[in-house]
Structure 1
Amino acid sequence: MKTIAEINDKIQQQTAVVWTVEELKAQVAELGVAQVAKTVDVVTTGTFEPAESSGAVLNLGHTDPPIKIRQCWLDGVMAYSGFGAVDLYLGASQMAEMGGAWDTPDPEELREGKGRNVPRERGGGHVIADLIAGKPVKLRAIGQVTDCYPRASVETTITRDTINQFYLFNPRNLYQNFIVGVNGGDRPLYTYLGPLQPRLGNAVYANPGALSPLLNDPDLNLVGIGTRIFLGGGVGYVAWEGTQHFPLQKRLPNHTPIGPAATLALIGDAKQMSDRWVKGCYFRGYGPSLMIGIGVPLPVLNEAVVERCAVQDADLVAPVVDFSIPRRVRPTFGLVSYAQLKSGRITIDGRSVRSAPLSSIFLARQIAQELKQWIEAGEFTLTEPIAPIPGDRTFLAQDRLGSQISLE
C-alpha cells in the first residue's frame, strides 16, 4: 500500500516512477500485476476529443463610465451575460450569428481593406481557442442603463491579457465511455459524431478506449472532486460530477461500462493553456464545438489499481447505435470491442463496415507522455480528492409531453 503523500514526496525528489498507461499495460503483460505495483508510482492517461459541453468564464473589468452588460457578442458569437455587470460565459457550441455583431463588416472598413466576415462555421469554441492563442477578439456589448451603470453600449477589442479572469468551466467532459454511430437509413446524416454515410457506410466512435482516463479507473476510486489534472495544456481540477453523469450504467465483469456512464465537470485557468491542446472545430450540419486535451494521473496505491489499468481494448465495448431513427432511444446493432473499432473495420449484421475515431489516439498518447514528463520533473504533484464522485446517480429523461392548460 502507498499513499498519495508518499508518492508526492517522491515526485518532489524527482524519484517517482511514472509510466503512461500504455507502458503499464505492456509491463503487466511481461512482469505481472504484483511486480508492476511494487515498481510504478503514477500512471498517466490522456484523451483529445470534442467536448461541446464546455465554455469559458470571462471578467472584462469595468469601463468608464461603467456598463451593466445584458447582451454581448465576441467576434459575432453571443455570450451569456445574465449575472455580474461585466461577467460573461461563452459556450463552446454557441454559433456565430449571421447578420449580427461582426458578421457584416463596416463598408468603410471594407474600402480600407480591414473588414472581414465571420463565417457561420465558427462558434464559441473558436473564440475560446483564439483567446487562448493570444489573438485579439472584437467585443460588442449592450448595457442596461442604471444609476450605477450609466453606459449604454461599448465596442472594443480584448485579448486574454487585457481581461481579468479567463477560465474554462466545462459542465461535461471525460465521458467514461460512449457510443458508436452508424446510419442505417438511405441519406447522409450530419451528427455530433460527424457525417454518417447511409446504408451503414461508416461507423464513428468517440472514445480512445484503453487510453481513456475513466476506463482505467472504472469505479472512480482514484478520481474525485479536487483531483488535479492536465487540462488544455495547463493545470485543471475536477470540480464536480458532470452533467448526464450516469454511473449506474450496465457494466462488464471488469467493472467497465457498456455505454455512456460517468462524466466530470472540469475547471482550469485558460490563461495558462496552450492553443496546441485547445482547438475550435465545426461539425457540418450540426454546429461548432471545442477539441480539448485532458490528462489524468492515477496514483498506484495498490495492486487493484494496476489490475484495473491493465485493461485492454479487447476488454472494452461500446454500443453501435443507428442514428437514422430520430428518437431519444435508438435501436442498436449490439456491442463491439475497441480492439475491433481500432482495427478499422467492424461487422454489423454480417457486413464489414469502416470505423474511425473522432478522438485523436495519436494526441491522446502525447498528452499522457507530456503529463508523465511534468510529474517526473517534479512540476506536477497529485491531490487527494476532497469528496468522491457520486456513484448512485440515475439518468432522467423528459419523456412526458407538456400538458395544455384549458382556458375554458
Structure 2
Amino acid sequence: MLNSPLSASSNELVINILAMVLSEGKPLDRAYSQHFSGLKLVPAEQARITTVTGDILRRLNLYCFLADIKPEEMERLGSKLLNVWHLFHELELPKMQYSLPVDPDDLVARIEQAKTNPVLWDGCPEWLDTMGREQLGASWEKERAALNRPPKRFLRVNGLKVSRDELVQKLATEFVSTQVVDSVDSALEVTSDSALFRTNSFKEGLFEQQDAGSQRVAAALDAKPGMRVIDACAGAGGKTLHIAAQMQGKGRLLAMDVEQWKLDNLKERARRNGAHNIETRLIVGSKTIKRLKLTADRVLLDVPCSGLGVLKRNPDAKWRDTADRLPVLMELQKHILSSYSRMVKVGGIVVYATCSIFPCENRGQVDAFLAENPNFRLLEDETISPADTGFDGFYLAKLERIQE
C-alpha cells in the first residue's frame, strides 16, 4: 500500500475513474486506458493511482459505508471517500482543491461497526456472498477474504527464447526483482515495483505478464512438439502463447475466437514472442467448428465465465455483474463444451477451463457433459484456490476422447 498521500491531481484521477466504472458501467481497464491516455505520468505515480483505485473497488461497500456515501455519488462526493481511504490506511489527508470533511469520531465508530460484519469487511456484495455460501459452503469465507487482497504480479517465462534462470538474471540487470514460483515451472513472481513493459526483456518477448494460476491451465494441456492443437476460445492469446512454447514452435497451433480484434492483438504478441506456428481463425458460425471435427490432438476450451476467481484482479466485476448473468453464461459454457469438444480426435485431450471457483461452472458442467457423452472420460480436474495458493482462482478438467 502507499506510504504517502496521493497528490491532488492523482486523487482527481481516482475519483474520475471510479465514477466512470460505477456510474457508466465501463470496465476498469477501459477506464484506466481512457484517463491515462495522453497523460505523461511517471510509472510510479500511475502505479499508485491503480493501487488506490483497485483497493477501493475490492472493498467498495466497506469504504462507502465508512464515508456514508453511495457508489453512484462518487463524482459528487468522491473526495470524502478518498479522505476516508487515506485515514483508514493511516495516511495524512491528501490535499485536494475541493474536499469534503470527515468526522474522525464517526469514522472510528463506523470502523468498529464494520468489523462486526465480516461480509462487509471483506468488501463482498450480498448477492455474491449468498452465492458463495451456496456453492462452496464453509470454504467460502477463506476464499472471500482472499479475493479482497491485492493481486501479486507474475510473469510467464517465454521458453521459446529464454530459460527461467536466464530471465531472472537479465531482469535483475534491469532492476526488476523476481523469485521462482516452485509449483509452476514457467512462472516468476515480481517482488519489486518495476515498470515491466518498459524493460528490454519485455520488448524482446522474453516474458508475458500472466498469473501463475492461469499458467497451470495451459500446462495441463501437455501439448507436445509436432501436435495439432486448437485453442478454441483464445481471446488475446495469453494461454495460446504458453502452448506455443510447450510445442517449441513445432506443429500446428490454431487460435480461434469470435472477435477479430482479439485475434489481431494475438498476432502482434505472437511476433514479439517468436511463436511462428500460431494460425488464427475467426469463428463465424457452427460450420467453422464442424470442419475441424476429429482433427486435433489437444483442444483448450477456456470458456466465458463469471470471472469470480479473478475478482482481486478485476474487482469492478462484482459491482457490475449480478447473479442473473450466471445462468446465461452457464448455457454458453454447456454449448461450447458440447460442440467444440467434437474437434478432438480419439485418444486426444480436451481441457475445459474457467476463471471461476464455483462448482456450478466447473465440475457441475463437466459431470453433465460426461453423462451425455460416454465417448469421453475424465482424467483429472483441479480447482486453483486463491486462498490456498495466493494465485487467481481457476478450474481445469482434462477429458480424453475414448471413441468417436
TM-score category by the smaller chain?
under 0.3
Give 1 or 2: higher strand fraction: 1
RCO higher in 1 or 2 (8 Å CA, sep ≥ 6)?
1
* TM-score, reference length from structure 1: 0.25
Higher helix proportion, which one? 2
TM-score (norm 2): 0.25
